[in-house]
């Protein structure tokens, strides 16, 4: 079984158990093991990249050093954690003076040699979408899904280099390989509002609402994301709207790993899919899912 | 043993005020090899120079040391005086006892002591100086211009009209370049081909200009004044002297490819005329798009031509290599546009209604794909809402070009204004970051465009262009109002950046001229020498050196021509003789010097396995000398021996 | 304690002109420095520096054009490379960094020239004078 060292991050252990559980289950179904790294800590959640400050990078560097002790590759799931760790890794190789300061401060020194990958990269480049297509046991019958990338997976392109920053396709390709019908809508790479939900919720709602409306108007029945904060914002912005226009159906937001797991035959319970989410996905697929799902 | 004369200048009190001139002169006269030492109040004056000249003759001096102001001031003056008295110019050295002695020190005793030391150094140097004469090289009084756009045409005309022969080498089938593709030019709105055409014809008719179309420079050997150039010309299937542009061949040709002149918006046949006003006025057979010539697969064009009794077409034509000898080369290779498919945010290449500025230009042109009517490429309808995006893929160091292409603000204003003129009920939007309108009449032109036609200028960038129910949506921002903006557009025009023409880098290698980090030909000095490359004899004109508009291009072309004419004005060329020289016996052929030289003046002779100096190219910097591990290289009149002698003499 | 003696290699296009300008503007520095005008800082063979030290100079200054402005395009880059290696060699034979310096001085930077010279003199005054090697081993 191919094993990858894996960084969960705070959200996945608390509010986003569904993301982690579905990811681990999908990985298992594909014959991969995501092995949790030792001694992980909070990555700093975007702030390490914001300020030109040595201290904010101490945490990510500790993570990189500890991961490096176990492996030469670290896989992340949360887009925020991925952005922080990937960029901290690149900066460690570029700004040697700052790196020296950080290494002096930390107990563990990070000297490079670690590759930070997002789970999507593992699926695309190491496993291969054709393999996933072969492994699909419950095709999702052209479910019109809007893949939502948000910002952190793709930008700044010069460092992230996961996919084209304006017209990416990795999520759509993955969703297509498990039988979905991904919807190309304009706002799929636009910001959900990120932490503005805390300080300026109106702005966040404006941004997230824009994404949801865009996806909906192009025919998406649900959104697939890779970030707990994106999910929170996209759902919250809809609650406000629904309160105003009662009666309309919200656009469910799921993690891409939940759809992946479902397609690979993992049970909806193991994937922590809610009733509402399941119903949107199933539509008239009720029988197929119930009969083929694995314990 | 040289008979040396030392002359010490008082320079009024400038030197004498701090340096005891009498003492210095006295000590100098007692130095070995010094036959005479004299002082004078102002050596640079007529009497002062007379003293020097008379002393040279009277005392049969072999060399002189002038202890006075900096060599930067009067080295030439005193060297000329020495020569007038029968000495070689290099037998005169200047000891700087003013700027670097009397003027910066105040202790008389110490300043005097230092002056003595400085003079001693100069005596050591001049004792070892060789008498040198300027290096004379013959000049081939012909020029080569590479590139037949407006820059190349202007340069060629200027050189030709001064009585020298010029070869004008052009890659495509016709001269004219980008300017021929333009509809109008800012700020006058002159019809571009109307003002260019006469110049093209003039170049064609000028007996001193030989146009080599469908040609590229393959190899350049030699040095300034003496270049040997190999130009490879594609097979000329259609004889230009015979062809009368009847066009019968085109009618029967079965092969069709995108038309480069129309930026790919239309099709042309494999046999075609580049554009209606092409010069030379002849058709071209493009072997790559022809169904086949070896063996002949079609031959319909020839049949049609022969049937008319014309027989201009020779399908058995072969490529030809021309060997040219010229004294000066002007590079005028021009530009092309940055590949807009790389700007994924705008969707060029995905949405047919997103165009580049050059494509829009062709559409504006009366001779263009739509005879000057603006239509949407997707469905041919007349667009009502057109969005122009300036700085597309420019001024963006992280993702695209870092620089500004200088002309886009101007032509976008013209485009938007002309669009309104043709579609009076349409609306043009221009997204801009800044408006750069620095030329003569430019600012007024932009203002006129903005005010007259109700163009909407939005200061902000465009984040994305996407499609929504058969229209394009342009999502941008208007920073002056602080709002994001979404415009439903029928057509989007991208002002993409100018990049050096394809093949520029290869040509630069062949010419041994350098390019900058963006691939443009590098000028010798960005401020003071913008018309020449660092390689002697290679001059630069037009957008191949840096993005620029037509007036600047024409000015630079005439300037480059004048530089070339400078070179061609006399049958010989004089270069400074203080160049590098090689002692062959000591050279091991390691080649380190070859890579050290910034001027390509050194090369390895593969048969003899030693390095050789092209004296005409050597600028005399001495970098090679310091890099030579075996001491085979030395710099004339600044040898290691001389420097060591000066080091030792400098001890107090 | 005798005064330190400095030998300066000044490139004719930039540093020498800068030194001249110091004179034209009547700036002041002590007469410890003697200069040699070279075409380019790239002309300087590291052995000149060693020779100068051997001859008893207490300090050597190499001054050329700022990177990117060399009259001969990139002679100064080569000077920099050689100087970097020379520094390492000098360290190995126990010559302190203060004795050999590389500076970029443009034709207009007369102030910089004076500051560098005065600074060098100050620092060298604190060091032992270089005993001329010739007194010990004369081979020529």
Inform me whether the pLDDT recorded for A288 exceeds 70.
Answer: no
How far from chain centre, in Å, is Cα B61?
47
Q: Count Cα atoms within 13 angstroms, Cβ side, for B293.
A: 19
* Token pair of C120 as six digits: 């060098």
* Token pair of B438 as six digits: 């620095």
**Which of C17, C43, C56 lies at the smallest CB-CB distance from B625?**
C43
Overall CATH class of domain B337-498: alpha beta
Report the percentage of chain A scoring pLDDT > 70. 93
Q: Return the pLDDT at C138.
A: 53
Render pLDDT for B601-621 as a digit per residue (tens, 0 to 9). 999 998 999 999 998 889 899
A295 pLDDT band (50/70/90 cuts)? very low
Is A167–B344 a contact, with Cβ atoms under 8 angstroms apart? yes
**Chain B residues touching residue A169 (CB < 8 angstroms):** none
By residue count, chain A amounts to: 295
* Token pair of A227 as six digits: 């970030």
Rounded to two decimals, the pTM is: 0.81
**Which of C24, C30, C48 lies at the smallest CB-CB distance from B643?**
C48
Q: Cα separation of B474 and C17, whole Å?
A: 57
Angle (deg, nearest 10), helices C46-54 and C75-92: 40
Task: With beta carbons less than 8 A apart as the criterion, state whether B602 and B595 touch.
Answer: no
> What burial letters (b/e) apply to A216-225, b meaning 16+ CB within 10 Å?
bebebbbbbb
A vs B: CB pairs below 8 A: 19
Q: Cα separation of B327 and B226, whole Å?
A: 5
Give B521: exposed, middle or buried? Use CB within 10 Å, 0-12, 13-18, 19+: buried
Q: Return the pLDDT at A247.
A: 55
Closest chain A CA to residue B342: A164
Is A166–B345 a contact, with Cβ atoms under 8 angstroms apart? yes
Q: Cα separation of C107 and C22, whole Å?
A: 10
Q: Cα separation of C111 and A78, whole Å?
A: 57
Disruptive mutation site among B396, B399, B494 for chain A (greatest number of A CBs within 10 Å) = B399
Inform me whether the pLDDT recorded for B177 exceeds 70.
Answer: yes
Is B644–C48 a contact, with Cβ atoms under 8 angstroms apart? yes
* Token pair of A43 as six digits: 């990555």
DSSP H or E stretch at residue B38: strand B34-40
Beta bridge partners of C7: C34, C60
Q: Cα separation of B594 and B581, whole Å?
A: 13
Q: Return the pLDDT at A47.
A: 76
Residue B17 at interface with chain C, using a CB cutoff of 8 Å = no
* Token pair of C46 as six digits: 């590291």
Instruction: Give the closest residue to B474 by CA, choosing from B461, B488, B484.
Output: B488
Q: How far is B587 from chain C (nearest CA, A)?
A: 17
Chains meeting C at 3+ CB pairs closer than 8 A?
B
Disruptive mutation site among A166, A184, A189 for chain B (greatest number of B CBs within 10 Å) = A166
Q: Which residues of A touch B (CB under 8 A)?
A: 156-158, 164-167, 186, 190
Average pLDDT of chain B to the nearest whole number = 94
Neighbours of A191 (CB within 10 A): 19
Residue B123 at interface with chain C, using a CB cutoff of 8 Å = no
Q: Cα separation of C77 and A127, whole Å?
A: 49
How far from chain centre, in Å, is Cα A115?
18
DSSP H or E stretch at residue A6: strand A2-7
**Chain B residues touching residue C31 (CB < 8 angstroms):** 101, 105, 107, 110-111, 113-114
Query: Would you identify the CATH topology of the domain B4-128?
Result: Rossmann fold (3.40.50)
Render pLDDT for B544-600 as a digit per residue (tens, 0 to 9). 999 999 999 999 999 999 999 999 999 998 888 999 999 999 999 999 999 999 888
Phi, psi values for residue B502, rounded to 5°: -60, 135
Q: Return the pLDDT at A291.
A: 47
Q: Where are the alpha helices (H) located in chain A, listed in sequence order?
A: 10-13, 17-29, 47-50, 58-70, 79-94, 96-105, 119-121, 129-135, 157-160, 170-177, 196-199, 201-217, 228-244, 256-263, 275-282, 286-292
Q: Return the pLDDT at A294.
A: 45
Is B622–C22 a contact, with Cβ atoms under 8 angstroms apart? no
Is A158–B344 a contact, with Cβ atoms under 8 angstroms apart? no
Residue C7 at interface with chain B, using a CB cutoff of 8 Å = yes
**Chain B residues touching residue C39 (CB < 8 angstroms):** 578, 620-622, 635, 638
Q: Return the pLDDT at A284.
A: 52
Is C34–B621 a contact, with Cβ atoms under 8 angstroms apart? no
Helix (H, G, I), strand (E, B) or coil at B167: strand
Render pLDDT for C86-115 as a digit per residue (tens, 0 to 9). 999 999 999 999 999 999 998 889 999 999
Question: How is chain B split into domains, by residue range?
Answer: 4-128, 142-233+320-334+501-568, 248-307, 337-498, 576-636
Mean pLDDT of the region B263-290: 94
Is B638–C39 a contact, with Cβ atoms under 8 angstroms apart? yes
Q: Return the pLDDT at C132.
A: 63
Q: Return the pLDDT at C131.
A: 72
Q: Return the pLDDT at A97.
A: 84
- Enter the DSSP assignment of B235: -
* Token pair of B509 as six digits: 């290698």
Tell me if the domain spanning B142-233+320-334+501-568 has CATH number 3.50.50.60: yes
**Chain A residues touching residue B486 (CB < 8 angstroms):** none
* Token pair of B338 as six digits: 């940055």
Instruction: Give the closest residue to A281 by CA, choosing from A173, A175, A154, A206.
Output: A175
A280 pLDDT band (50/70/90 cuts)? confident
Q: How far is B415 from chain C (nearest CA, A)?
A: 39
- Enter the DSSP assignment of A122: I
- Enter the DSSP assignment of B314: -
Q: Return the pLDDT at C137.
A: 54
Q: Cα separation of B101 and B121, whole Å?
A: 14
Is A186–B399 a contact, with Cβ atoms under 8 angstroms apart? no
Is C27–B96 a contact, with Cβ atoms under 8 angstroms apart? no
What residues have CB less than 8 Å from A182, skipping those under 6 apart?
A144, A145, A146, A147, A171, A172, A175, A176
Could you check whether B142-233+320-334+501-568 and B576-636 share the same CATH topology? no
* Token pair of A82 as six digits: 């991925």
Residue B345 at interface with chain A, using a CB cutoff of 8 Å = yes
DSSP H or E stretch at residue B63: strand B63-68
Inform me whether the pLDDT recorded for B412 exceeds 70.
Answer: yes
**Which of B118, B598, B619 lies at the smallest CB-CB distance from C34?**
B118
Is B466–A186 a contact, with Cβ atoms under 8 angstroms apart? yes
Task: With beta carbons less than 8 A apart as the criterion, state whether B81 and B7 touch.
Answer: no
DSSP readout, B577-644?
S--EEE-GGG-----HHHHH-TT--EEEETTTTEEEE-TTT-----HHHHH-TTS-EEETTS-HHHHH
Task: With beta carbons less than 8 A apart as the criterion, state whether A175 and A147 touch.
Answer: yes
Q: Return the pLDDT at B272.
A: 96
Q: Return the pLDDT at A245.
A: 60
Is A186–B475 a contact, with Cβ atoms under 8 angstroms apart? yes
Query: Would you identify the CATH topology of the domain B576-636?
Result: Alpha-Beta Plaits (3.30.70)
Mean pLDDT of the region B433-448: 94
C130 pLDDT band (50/70/90 cuts)? confident
Disruptive mutation site among A164, A167, A187, A207 for chain B (greatest number of B CBs within 10 Å) = A167
CA angle C67, C73, C77 (to 5 degrees): 45
Average pLDDT of chain C to the nearest whole number = 90
Angle (deg, nearest 10), helices A96-105 and A58-70: 80
Q: How far is B393 from chain A (nearest CA, A)?
A: 13
Is B72–C20 a contact, with Cβ atoms under 8 angstroms apart? yes
Mean pLDDT of the region B233-255: 92
Helix (H, G, I), strand (E, B) or coil at B64: strand
Mean pLDDT of the region B3-25: 96
Q: Which segment of A112-116, B441-445, B531-535 scores lowest on mean pLDDT?
A: B531-535
Instruction: Give the closest residue to B268 by CA, choosing from B292, B245, B284, B282.
Output: B284
Disruptive mutation site among C34, C74, C86 for chain B (greatest number of B CBs within 10 Å) = C34
Q: Return the pLDDT at B137.
A: 87
Instruction: Give the closest residue to B36 by CA, choosing from B6, B65, B57.
Output: B6
Rounded to whole angstroms, what are the CA distances from B374 to B184, B379, B420, B426, B429? 15, 12, 10, 11, 16
Residue B398 at interface with chain A, using a CB cutoff of 8 Å = yes
Residue the block writes with tokens 């072999």: B62
DSSP H or E stretch at residue B115: helix B108-128
Chain C 102-121, residues with CB within 8 Å of chain B CB atoms: none
Q: Between β-strands B135-138 and B572-575, what pairing exists: parallel, antiparallel or unpaired?
A: antiparallel
Mean pLDDT of the region B127-150: 95
Task: With beta carbons less than 8 A apart as the criterion, state whether B115 and B159 touch.
Answer: no
Instruction: Give the closest residue to C74 by CA, choosing from B521, B603, B621, B533.
Output: B621
Rounded to whole angstroms, what are the CA distances from B420 to B184, B188, B251, B382? 15, 17, 36, 12
* Token pair of A216 as six digits: 């909906």
**Which of C28, C39, C82 lies at the smallest CB-CB distance from B104?**
C28
Residue C31 at interface with chain B, using a CB cutoff of 8 Å = yes
Instruction: Give the closest residue to B204 by CA, choosing from B282, B275, B122.
Output: B282
Q: Cα separation of A151 and B484, whole Å?
A: 18
Task: With beta carbons less than 8 A apart as the criterion, state whether B239 and B196 touch.
Answer: no
Closest chain B CA to residue A166: B345
Q: Cα separation of B391 and B461, whole Å?
A: 9
DSSP readout, B255-295?
-EEE-TTTTTSSEEESEE-SSTT-SS---EE-TTTSS-BTT
Q: Cα separation of B154 and B152, whole Å?
A: 6
Longest dimension (CA), chain A: 61
Is C23–B105 a contact, with Cβ atoms under 8 angstroms apart? no
Inform me whether the pLDDT recorded for A289 exceeds 80.
Answer: no
Q: Return the pLDDT at C136.
A: 53
Question: Is ipTM > 0.90 here?
Answer: yes
Structural domains of chain A sorted by starting position, each given as residue range(s) with its CATH number in brackets: 2-119 (1.20.1050.140), 129-293 (3.40.50.11810)
Q: How far is B346 from chain A (nearest CA, A)?
A: 9
Residue C35 at interface with chain B, using a CB cutoff of 8 Å = yes
Supply the Cα-derived Rg of chain B in whole angstroms: 33
């Amino acid at each position: 079984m191919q094993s990858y060292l894996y960084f969960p991050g705070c959200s996945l252990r608390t509010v986003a158990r569904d993301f982690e559980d579905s990811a681990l289950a999908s990985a298992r179904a594909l014959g991969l093991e995501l092995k949790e790294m030792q001694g992980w800590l909070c990555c700093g959640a975007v702030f390490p990249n914001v300020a030109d400050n040595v201290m904010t990078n101490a945490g990510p560097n500790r993570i990189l050093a500890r991961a490096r002790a176990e492996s030469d590759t670290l896989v992340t799931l949360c887009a925020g954690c991925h952005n922080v760790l990937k960029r901290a890794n690149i900066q460690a190789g570029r700004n040697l003076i700052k790196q020296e300061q950080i290494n002096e401060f930390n107990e563990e020194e990070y000297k490079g040699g670690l590759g930070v990958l997002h789970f999507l990269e593992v699926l695309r480049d190491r496993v291969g979408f054709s393999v996933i297509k072969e492994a699909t046991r419950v095709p999702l019958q052209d479910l019109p899904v809007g893949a939502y990338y948000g910002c952190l997976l793709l930008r700044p392109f010069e460092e992230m280099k996961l996919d084209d920053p304006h017209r990416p396709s990795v999520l759509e390709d993955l969703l297509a390989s498990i039988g979905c019908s991904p919807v190309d809508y304009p706002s799929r790479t636009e910001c959900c509002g990120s932490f503005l939900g805390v300080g300026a919720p109106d702005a966040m709602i404006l941004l997230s609402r824009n994404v949801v409306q865009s996806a909906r108007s192009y025919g998406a029945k649900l959104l697939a994301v890779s970030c707990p904060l994106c999910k929170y914002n996209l759902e919250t912005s809809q609650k406000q709207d629904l309160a105003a226009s009662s009666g309309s159906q919200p656009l469910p937001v799921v993690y891409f790993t939940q759809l992946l797991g479902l397609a690979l035959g993992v049970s909806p319970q193991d994937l922590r899919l809610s009733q509402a989410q399941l119903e949107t996905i199933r539509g008239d697929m009720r029988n197929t899912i119930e009969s083929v799902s694995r314990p | 043993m040289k008979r040396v004369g030392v002359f010490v200048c008082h320079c009024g009190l400038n030197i004498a005020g701090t340096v005891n001139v009498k003492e210095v002169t006295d000590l100098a006269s007692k130095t070995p090899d010094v036959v005479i030492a004299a002082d004078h109040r102002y050596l640079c004056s007529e009497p002062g120079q007379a003293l020097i000249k008379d002393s040279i003759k009277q005392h049969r001096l072999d060399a002189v040391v002038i202890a006075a102001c900096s060599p930067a001031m009067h080295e030439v003056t005193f060297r000329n005086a020495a020569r007038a008295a029968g000495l070689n110019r290099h037998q005169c050295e200047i000891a700087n006892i003013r700027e670097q002695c009397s003027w910066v020190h105040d202790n008389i005793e110490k300043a005097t002591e230092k002056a003595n030391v400085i003079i001693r150094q100069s005596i050591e140097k001049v004792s070892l100086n060789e008498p040198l004469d300027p290096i004379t090289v013959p000049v081939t009084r012909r020029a080569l211009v590479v590139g037949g756009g407006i820059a190349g045409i202007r340069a060629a005309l200027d050189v030709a009209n001064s009585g020298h022969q010029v070869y004008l080498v052009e890659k495509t089938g016709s001269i004219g370049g980008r300017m021929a593709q333009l509809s109008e030019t800012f700020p006058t709105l002159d019809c571009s081909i109307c003002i260019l055409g006469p110049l093209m014809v003039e170049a064609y008719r000028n007996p001193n200009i030989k146009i080599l179309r469908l040609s590229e420079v393959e190899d350049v050997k030699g040095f300034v004044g003496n270049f040997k150039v190999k130009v490879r010309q594609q097979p000329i299937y259609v004889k230009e002297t015979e062809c009368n542009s009847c066009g019968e061949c085109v009618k029967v040709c079965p092969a069709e490819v995108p038309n480069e002149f129309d930026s790919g918006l239309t099709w042309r046949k494999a046999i075609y005329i580049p554009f209606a006003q092409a010069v030379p006025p002849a058709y071209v057979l493009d072997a790559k798009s022809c169904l086949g010539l070896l063996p002949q697969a079609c031959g319909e064009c020839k049949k049609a031509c022969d049937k008319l009794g014309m027989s201009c077409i020779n399908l058995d034509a072969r490529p030809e290599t021309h060997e040219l000898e010229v004294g000066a080369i002007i590079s005028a290779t021009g530009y092309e546009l940055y590949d807009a498919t790389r700007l994924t945010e705008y969707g060029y290449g995905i949405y047919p209604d997103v165009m580049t500025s050059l494509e829009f230009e062709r559409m504006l042109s009366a001779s263009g794909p739509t005879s000057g009517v603006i239509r949407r490429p997707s469905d041919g309808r007349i667009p009502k809402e057109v969005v122009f995006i300036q700085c597309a893929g420019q001024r963006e160091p992280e993702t695209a070009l870092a620089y500004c292409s200088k002309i886009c603000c101007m032509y976008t204003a013209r485009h938007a204004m002309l669009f309104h003129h043709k579609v009076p009920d349409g609306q043009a939007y221009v997204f801009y970051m800044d408006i750069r309108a620095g030329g003569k009449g430019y600012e007024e032109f932009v203002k006129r465009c903005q005010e007259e036609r109700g163009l909407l200028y939005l200061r902000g960038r465009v984040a994305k262009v996407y499609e929504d129910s058969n229209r394009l949506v342009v999502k941008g921002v208007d920073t002056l109002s602080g709002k994001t903006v979404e415009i439903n557009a029928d057509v989007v025009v991208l002002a993409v950046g100018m990049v050096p023409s394809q093949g520029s880098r290869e040509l630069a290698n062949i010419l041994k001229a350098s390019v900058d980090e963006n691939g443009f030909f590098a000028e010798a000095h960005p401020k003071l020498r913008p018309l020449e490359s660092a390689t002697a004899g290679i001059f630069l004109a037009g957008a191949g050196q840096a993005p620029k508009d037509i007036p600047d291009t024409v000015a630079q072309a005439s300037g480059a021509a004048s530089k070339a004419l400078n070179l061609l004005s006399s049958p010989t060329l004089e270069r400074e003789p203080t160049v590098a020289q090689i002692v062959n016996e000591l050279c091991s052929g390691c080649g380190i010097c070859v890579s050290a030289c910034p001027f390509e003046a050194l090369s390895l002779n593969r048969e003899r396995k030693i390095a050789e100096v092209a004296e005409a190219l050597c600028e005399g910097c001495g970098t090679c000398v310091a890099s030579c591990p075996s001491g085979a290289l030395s710099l004339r009149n600044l040898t290691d021996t001389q420097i060591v002698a000066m080091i030792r003499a400098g001890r107090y | 304690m005798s005064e330190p003696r400095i030998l300066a290699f000044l490139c004719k296009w930039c540093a020498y002109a800068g030194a001249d300008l110091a004179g034209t503007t009547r700036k002041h520095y002590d007469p410890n420095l003697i200069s040699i005008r070279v075409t380019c800082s790239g002309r300087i063979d590291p052995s000149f520096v060693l020779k100068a030290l051997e001859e008893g100079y207490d300090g050597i200054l190499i001054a050329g054009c700022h990177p990117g402005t060399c009259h001969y395009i990139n002679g100064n880059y080569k000077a920099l490379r050689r100087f970097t290696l020379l520094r390492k060699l000098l360290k190995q034979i126990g010559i302190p960094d203060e004795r050999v310096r590389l500076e970029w001085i443009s034709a207009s930077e007369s102030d910089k020239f004076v500051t560098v010279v005065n600074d060098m003199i100050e620092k060298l005054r604190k060091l032992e004078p270089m005993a001329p090697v010739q007194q010990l081993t004369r081979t020529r």
